[in-house]
A and B are shown apart, each in its own frame.
Chain A
């Protein structure tokens, strides 16, 4: 078993076009590190230089937006489903 991660269109350049990839880790941060080892460059698109999630990238563990569950410290386990979605936002 592993953690299934859904990748949005714009990040599929890092996953060879795959819509879903698998990874492992005890926390979202560890999972992102594991994914980055297999799909280089992915972490940089999700995490800032300061080590926090980008403001306009939404990450969900199952149905929960991780902003409300501890961000990169959110606990994850085998069988969880993680979804990454860029925010749909803008402004004049």
Chain B
């Protein structure tokens, strides 16, 4: 199951809407082994395409160095489909290289934020992709990670 906070969920959806009709992509990093997506990092789609996404190779190196320095890993790897359902394509499956990540797929095929259409809808689904096997999982949106978990520090003044 993917547990994700409301603000991060909204940020992913907003990025997908913004980049429509091109595919949007990014990661949500979190402390290694925590399974908590905490740091939203939208990435540039170097392919700038409605049917393909790829992180720019320089940005990819910077991102992984940064995560390494912070003892983080990519907890969520997200991208959007702009004309098809929010399900991993054959290419997505073939190229999935992070067996520990939650692969989030957002479909903007029916979104109408910019158009003002009534049928505005964005699908948001999450999958594990391990050695070519796709497993869909539940998505639980929590208001904040501070509730239901131990807060690091709370300062009252």
A→B interface (CB under 8 Å): 8-10, 56, 58, 60, 63, 65, 67, 83, 85-92
Whether a CB of chain A sits under 8 angstroms from the CB of B89 is yes
Do A10 and B97 touch (CB < 8 A)? yes
Specify which chain B residues have a CB less than 8 angstroms from the CB of A91 in the assembled complex. Answer: 23, 47, 49, 51-53, 89, 91-92
Closest to B97 in A: A86
Do B61 and A63 touch (CB < 8 A)? yes
Whether a CB of chain A sits under 8 angstroms from the CB of B25 is yes
Instruction: Taking A9-B73, A91-B49 as given, write out 19 further A-B residue pairs in contact, using a Cβ cutoff of 8 Å, ordered by the A residue number.
Output: A10-B99, A58-B60, A58-B61, A65-B57, A67-B57, A86-B95, A87-B55, A87-B57, A88-B27, A88-B43, A88-B54, A89-B53, A89-B95, A90-B53, A90-B92, A91-B23, A91-B53, A92-B51, A92-B92
Closest to A90 in B: B92
| Total number of residue pairs linking A and B with CB closer than 8 Å | 77
Q: How far is the CA of A49 from the CA of B128 in the complex (A)?
A: 29
Q: B interface, by DSSP: helix, strand, loop or mixed?
A: mixed
The verdict on A88 contacting B83 (CB below 8 Å), with A9-B99, A10-B98 known, is no
Specify which chain B residues have a CB less than 8 angstroms from the CB of A65 in the assembled complex. Answer: 57-58, 61
Specify which chain A residues have a CB less than 8 angstroms from the CB of B79 in the assembled complex. Answer: 90
Closest to B26 in A: A88
Q: How far is the CA of A9 from the CA of B77 in the complex (A)?
A: 15
Specify which chain B residues have a CB less than 8 angstroms from the CB of A86 in the assembled complex. Answer: 95, 97-98
